[in-house]
Structure 1
Amino acid sequence: MQNYLEFSFKISPLQPWNEILMAELIEIGFDSFTEENDGILGYIQKDLFNDNQLKNLPLFQNKDVKVEFSFTEMPNINWNEEWEKNFEPINIDHKVLIRAEFHESVPGMHEIIIQPKMSFGTGHHPTTHLMIQQMMEMDFKNKKVLDMGCGTSVLAIYAKQIGAGDTKAIDIDEWSVENSKENAERNNVELDIELGTAENLGKDQYDIILANINRNILISDIPVYESVLNNGGQLLLSGLCFFDVDDILEVCTENNLKMKKRLQREEWVSILLEK
């Protein structure tokens, strides 16, 4: 069990900055959040917290939003157990249900069953929701798939369930890798799961690449994705706010990737591109 710090962030105006702040906090080690009427509560392991990283977040330099925060140290309790108690199933367009084993099944819906540990990508975040919405309209049959920044591997699992061939999942977080292995077994699918980044990618080529990460990593890694994407292959991106899209598309154009479809949910965006 880990000692955690609880941060209370007061945000004005609340929208869309609460979601943007959560995305930035994830990048510096925060692993769970609770939304409140005037802001969010964010949680981070005490030994992972870096005061300079927090104070230098881009959002704190933005004149369009005011953020105030305070924090307290939390008692040494099992946060996984606490988080599981509040985990709710995710219904995507009444077609796909992401649930834990302790939730009831819903007849007629495609189900992905995950153990709700504190890995990003449970489906609650709008970007994961957007990725699955896009995937529902894509052809994965016998395609070779790569899931970058896989989190719980919910996207890789869904790809396998709807017909994908060899599927690799990569994440920089050890917790996510272990959780992905458990979730793959839980859903009776075979995944090649690795700890690492885009630097892990060798000469293997893929038909579909899924990357639900964040703007800066995507901009850095898109040239690598293009290099391992087959001609006619598809790159599905999210982790983007609406104001990131132009920058992303500029990099994609430079790398011979053309946008085919864009979806938006709240301030978050998913883009499907083709090589």
Structure 2
Amino acid sequence: MQNYLEFDFKISPLYPWNEILMAELIEIGFDSFTEEFDGILGYIQKDIFNENQLQGISLLQNNDVEIQYSYKEMPNINWNEEWEKNFEPINIDDKVLIRAEFHESVPGMHEIVIQPKMSFGTGHHPTTHLMIQQMMDMDFQNKKVLDMGCGTSVLAIYAKQNGAADTLAIDIDEWSVENSKENAVRNNVELNIELGTAENLGKEKFDIILANINRNILISDIPTYTSVLNNSGELLLSGLCFFDVDDILEVCEENNLVLKKKLQKEEWVSLLLNKKEVLF
């Protein structure tokens, strides 16, 4: 068991900077987070923490956001065991249940079984809930699918369970990649899982792209997504607050994408877009 440091980051304004900060902290070794009303709690093993690396992350130098932090050493406990104890199953519209192996099955519900390790995408965040809600009404049969920022690969697994063909899942976090591999086996689906970012994408084309990340990364990567999305293909986005929608739709319009359906839960939003068919 490792000794951990708990960092309490106060962030103003909170959105979308909390998601961006978590992405930057992962790069320097932070491996789990808890979202607070005014910031985030971040956890890192004491023996790998480097103060200079923390001070060097770009967001701490950004004048658009104010971030203050303090930290303390945590007791020497098994964090995965603690995480599992507090993991509750997620019921989405009484149709889809995301649960761990130690939860009871619910007859009549579509189930995704995951091991709740300390990685993103367990399903508790409203954006994952919104993505699954949108996916319920989508046709995945024999479609080639890409899941960007896959976390535990809940979305990729759900796509495969609903008939998707080749499915690629990509995440920047090594822990997420390993957990995704375990979860694919656990749900008896075959996924191609890679460590990386949108830079991994080449000439391979997809019928459906799922991206539950954050505003800034989406704005940066939407042109890349569009370039690998087949004509009339679908792009499903979340990780967005309601006030991000206009900026995202502006970028989408510039990239030949048309809004098909929008869902909102609390302050979070999911957008389903179609790529216009281009005739040459």
Normalising by structure 1, report the TM-score.
Answer: 0.88
Matched-pair contact (CA < 8 Å) for 2:16–2:214: no
Listed as ranges, the matches of 1:99-178 within 5 Å are 99-178=99-178
> Which residue is equivalent to 1:269?
269
Matched-pair contact (CA < 8 Å) for 1:31–1:120: no
> Which residue is equivalent to 1:256?
256
What is the deviation of 1:258? Answer: 0.7
Instruction: Identify if the C-alpha distance between structure 1 residues 172 and 10 changes in structure 2 by more than 3 Å, giving closer, same or farther.
Output: closer
What per-residue deviation string (whole Å, max 9, x for no partner) do you get for residues 187-245 of structure 1? 00011111111111121111000011111111111111111100000000111111211
What per-residue deviation string (whole Å, max 9, x for no partner) do you get for residues 149-173 of structure 1? 1110000000000111111111111
* Structure 1 gap segments, 5+ residues each: none
- The letter for the 1-side match of 2:154 is V
Cα separation, 2, equivalents of 1:41 and 1:198: 27
Q: Structure 1 segments of 4 or more deviating over 3 A?
A: 8-12, 19-22, 30-42, 51-55, 66-69
Matched-pair contact (CA < 8 Å) for 2:6–2:73: yes
Cα separation, 2, equivalents of 1:238 and 1:224: 17
What per-residue deviation string (whole Å, max 9, x for no partner) do you get for residues 111-153 of structure 1? 0000001110000111111100100011111111000111100
What is the deviation of 1:8? Answer: 3.5
Listed as ranges, the matches of 1:1-275 within 5 Å are 1-9=1-9, 17=14, 20=16, 22-27=18-23, 28-29=25-26, 30-34=30-34, 41-46=41-46, 47-48=48-49, 50-53=54-57, 56=60, 61-62=64-65, 69-275=69-275
What is the deviation of 1:21? Answer: 5.7
Cα separation, 2, equivalents of 1:37 and 1:170: 29
What is the deviation of 1:56? Answer: 1.4
Cα separation, 1, equivalents of 2:106 and 2:55: 45
* Structure 2 gap segments, 5+ residues each: 276-280
- The letter for the 2-side match of 1:74 is M
What is the deviation of 1:36? Answer: 6.3
What is the deviation of 1:31? Answer: 3.9
Instruction: Identify if the C-alpha distance between structure 1 residues 55 and 105 changes in structure 2 by more than 3 Å, giving closer, same or farther.
Output: same
Q: What value does the CA root-mean-square deviation take over the aligned residues?
A: 2.4
- The letter for the 2-side match of 1:133 is Q
Instruction: Identify if the C-alpha distance between structure 1 residues 44 and 245 changes in structure 2 by more than 3 Å, giving closer, same or farther.
Output: farther
- The letter for the 2-side match of 1:257 is L
Matched-pair contact (CA < 8 Å) for 1:89–1:103: yes
Matched-pair contact (CA < 8 Å) for 2:18–2:39: no
Matched-pair contact (CA < 8 Å) for 1:24–1:57: no
Matched-pair contact (CA < 8 Å) for 1:152–1:176: yes
Instruction: Identify if the C-alpha distance between structure 1 residues 90 and 97 changes in structure 2 by more than 3 Å, giving closer, same or farther.
Output: same
What is the deviation of 1:2? Answer: 3.6
Matched-pair contact (CA < 8 Å) for 2:21–2:59: no
What is the deviation of 1:3? Answer: 3.1
Percent of paired sites with the same residue: 79
Normalising by structure 2, report the TM-score.
Answer: 0.86
Cα separation, 2, equivalents of 1:36 and 1:261: 29
Number of equivalent positions: 267
Moved more, 79-88 or 127-136: 79-88
Classify the secondary structure of the residue corresponding to 1:8.
strand
